[in-house]
Amino acid sequence: MKQRAKRKFRLISSVLAVLLLLSGCGPDFKEDNSQDTVTPKDDSLIVVGVSQIGSESVWRTANTASIQSTFSKENGYFLIFDNARQKQENQIKALRSFISQQVDYIVFSPIVEDGWDTVLQEAKDAGIPVILMDRNVNVKDESLYTAWVGSDFTEEGRRAGRWLSGHLAEEGRGDEEVNIVVLQGTNGSTSVIGRTKGFDSVAAQHDRWNILEQADADFTTAKGKEEMNKMLQKYEDIDVVVSQNDDMTFGALEAIQEAGMTTGTEGEIIVISFDATKSALEKVEEGIINVDIECNPEQGAYIEKVIRTMENGERADKEYFVEEKVFTKKNVDSVIDDRSY
């Protein structure tokens, strides 16, 4: 049997086993049964197992949509999709299930950077290439994954810092003391590590920028609101909120409004956000959010390029950076109508 045909055979048997388990004839195999359980009829389909972090943000939902539309049957793929609901242990389980199903490729977005060596070694031993999407891993041996596709998070953080520096200078406030609070996303994730490092590197060049606190708000609106509320009670004079994604920004905006304060181009508090989803860009247009640092979730095509390269027997690059911009009131109109997420 050819390699792919062999894999298909194993896949069909494993999918049958999963179906049995899901029908109640065995232990609870998966928390999420969103994976496609239809066996591929066509042996030429490339089988891709995707482990997504969860659905914590609008960005994440758009990222999932990009994957699902790229790895379709029409495009020659058989997609097995698993939503890990914010748990690393669920991602590890999903990866192991992809390995036992002998998929052709594993694509996954690691929730945090640490803790992947063992399972990635298992994938490598099984001869299955792993492509990292969005976030990165911290592993001793980089050959444990084939390629990474995502954003330059450190540059995103620097962009936020550079924008703030330019904005304060434009307003003639370049010499003033500036009090900054930061809402951070999932602790230990690449996006948080990079954005924090990038912003901090610019802040370090400004003696009068005081970062009062960096609070962990998990990339969600509810936590963004909760942490912002606490900081508003703790600090009297907040000049800038740096919120590491739009979902947390929405929570922060609610908290600020409820506290009777204003934000944005004409307001008391400067708001810097990340992601640039449509609803946040509308707030940029209204002048409620000052600037949104784009993070591009449409990574499906980039990942497909990696797979096509490998299918052609060529070596893929180790890193692929997606394209991103910075949006303020001045240029937001150029993108807002075409934003699908």
In the complex, the residues that contact ligand GYE under the rule CB under 6 A are 56-57, 59-60, 134-135, 185, 191, 219, 245, 247, 274-275, 295
Residue 88 host element (H or E): helix 88-100
d(C-alpha 173, C-alpha 312), whole Å:
56
d(C-alpha 45, C-alpha 66), whole Å:
19
Type of residue at 55? S
**Closer to ligand GYE by Cβ: residue 133 or 256:** 133
**Closer to ligand GYE by Cβ: residue 14 or 189:** 189
**Closer to ligand GYE by Cβ: residue 56 or 292:** 56
Write down the least CB distance from residue 255 to ligand GYE, Å: 18
**Closer to ligand GYE by Cβ: residue 60 or 93:** 60
Identify the residue whose tokens are 């803790």.
115
**Closer to ligand GYE by Cβ: residue 101 or 191:** 191
Residue 247, φ and ψ in degrees, nearest 5: -60, -45
**Closer to ligand GYE by Cβ: residue 101 or 249:** 249
Write down the least CB distance from residue 314 to ligand GYE, Å: 28
Q: Helix-strand-coil percent breakdown of the chain, rounded to 5?
A: 45, 20, 40
Give yes or no for a contact between 189 and 137, defined as CB atoms under 8 angstroms apart: no
Write down the least CB distance from residue 176 to ligand GYE, Å: 30
d(C-alpha 125, C-alpha 133), whole Å:
21
Write down the least CB distance from residue 279 to ligand GYE, Å: 13
Type of residue at 109? S
Cβ contacts of residue 153 below 8 Å, gap of 6+?
190, 191, 193, 194, 195, 198, 295
**Closer to ligand GYE by Cβ: residue 40 or 185:** 185
Pairing of strands 130-133, 105-108: parallel
Residue 11 host element (H or E): helix 3-20
Write down the least CB distance from residue 100 to ligand GYE, Å: 28
Write down the least CB distance from residue 57 to ligand GYE, Å: 3
d(C-alpha 52, C-alpha 221), whole Å:
20
d(C-alpha 199, C-alpha 272), whole Å:
11
Counting every residue written for the chain, the total comes to 341
**Closer to ligand GYE by Cβ: residue 40 or 54:** 54
d(C-alpha 293, C-alpha 274), whole Å:
5
d(C-alpha 30, C-alpha 98), whole Å:
12
Write down the least CB distance from residue 67 to ligand GYE, Å: 14
d(C-alpha 325, C-alpha 151), whole Å:
11
**Closer to ligand GYE by Cβ: residue 160 or 178:** 160
Write down the least CB distance from residue 14 to ligand GYE, Å: 30
Write down the least CB distance from residue 41 to ligand GYE, Å: 35
